[in-house]
Amino acid sequence: MTLISNDIDKAAAILSANDLVAIPTETVYGLAGNIYSEEAIKKIFTLKKRPFFNPLIVHIHSLEQVTDLALEFPEKAKMLAQAFWPGSLTLVLKKRPQVPDLITAGKDTVGLRMPQHELTLALLKKLDFPVAAPSANPFTHISPTSPQHVHRYFDDSLQMILDGGNCSNGIESTIIGFEQDEPVIYRLGSISIEDIQAVVGAVVIKNKKEDAPDAPGMLDKHYAPRTKTILTTDVNKSIQEYSGKQIGLLLHHSYEQAFNVKHIAYLSQSGDLKEAASQLYSAMHQLDHLQLDVIIAHRLPDTGLGKAMNDRLERATK
């Protein structure tokens, strides 16, 4: 039986005994283990069926821990940390030798993030080690934004899910690395490009496999439902193409034209992009469980969080 509870002492005891706990963050749930325990880290890779070439993000609660784990803290990284931590930003920095190679997939950098979830921050403060936490889903599947999503994926192979309710942001952190001390976005995420640029000026984006040798996790197929999924700018045309099939629609807002389709998930009543992002994965989970033939998703506006959502939906269609 998996314990689903908000007891952080229990969670701390399990993590200290080299086992895993699923932890809530404001982005998605993570599958956490002690970064210094080879046993715990190997369990993460095994449970997720994740290839060892894909590094893990280290979760911290204080800026002092950056100094413990990273060799350098470039000026623009400091500005970003100050602006967005605790929050949905991962900084990829040159690592110190004591960060195990298993965490970083043998790379000379480490991804660091200070999450903004009260329960998880309190848990991290109780531990005398940082935790590595990839999203708590099997490799390439949709990320979990509730304890129930996590439980459905792993049944009872997990001792505990720390119950922090639904994730408020609902999309993974924005990942930023540094090339000659200049920021490069490796993964679009919960903090928009516009918000990043307001702090550090223009940034380069390298989030495609072809131009991101430094971001090994930027896979073409990812965040994918089992149901065939397509992304379109013309919902009517796609509905016609799949006439006679069981269709699920994923729509941005509720006052889009009435479609004659039984299963429709709306991401936001008003079309608010932040609200839509918070609902994206739970809507995908919901439609994916209806045994439909196809999920037709309406492409979102290509601004703010819409860009990150379109990125996830594109990878879901592969």
Torsion of Cα atoms, 38 then 39 then 41 then 46, to 10° = 130
Query: Rounded to an integer, what distance in angstroms lies between the CA atom of residue 183 and that of residue 199?
Result: 11
Q: Does 315 bind ligand TXA (CB under 6 A)?
A: no
Does 120 bind ligand TXA (CB under 6 A)? Our answer is no
Query: Strand, helix or coil at 299?
Result: coil
| H or E element in which residue 218 lies | none
Q: Which is nearer to Mg ion, 135 or 207 (CB)?
A: 135
**Binding pattern for the stretch 251-270 against ligand TXA, x by CB under 6 A and - elsewhere:** --------------------
Least distance (Å) from ligand TXA to the CB of residue 247? 29
- Is residue 55 part of the contact set for ligand TXA (CB under 6 A)? yes
Q: Is 104 in the site for ligand TXA (CB under 6 A)?
A: yes
238 binds ligand TXA (CB under 6 A): no
Question: Which lies closer to ligand TXA via its Cβ, residue 214 or residue 272?
Answer: 214
Distance, in Å, from the CA atom of 236 to the CA atom of 248, rounded to the nearest integer, reads 13
Quick one: 50 or 298, whose CB is closer to ligand TXA? 50
Tell me the backbone φ, ψ of residue 100, rounded to 5 degrees.
Answer: -60, 145
Alpha-carbon distance of 62 to 277, in angstroms, equals 27
Can residue 316 be called a binding residue for ligand TXA (CB under 6 A)? Answer: no
CA distances 255 to 240, 268, 272, Å, are 20, 10, 12
Question: Does residue 33 touch ligand TXA according to CB under 6 A?
Answer: no
Question: CA-to-CA distance for 96 and 108, rounded, in angstroms?
Answer: 8
- Binding partner selected for residue 186 from ligand TXA, Mg ion, none, CB under the kind-specific 5 to 8 Å limit: ligand TXA
Q: Which of 21, 81, 133, 305 binds ligand TXA (CB under 6 A)?
A: 133
Q: How many Cα atoms sit within 13 Å of 84 on the Cβ side? A: 30
Closer of 86 and 248 to ligand TXA (Cβ)? 86
| Distance linking the first and last C-alpha atoms of the chain | 35
Q: Which of 135, 173, 207, 279 binds Mg ion (CB under 5 A)?
A: 135
Amino acid at 286: Q
Residues of this chain that bind Mg ion (CB under 5 A):
135
Residues of this chain that bind ligand TXA (CB under 6 A):
25, 27-28, 30, 54-57, 90, 92, 104, 107, 109-111, 113, 115, 133-135, 172-173, 175, 186, 214-217
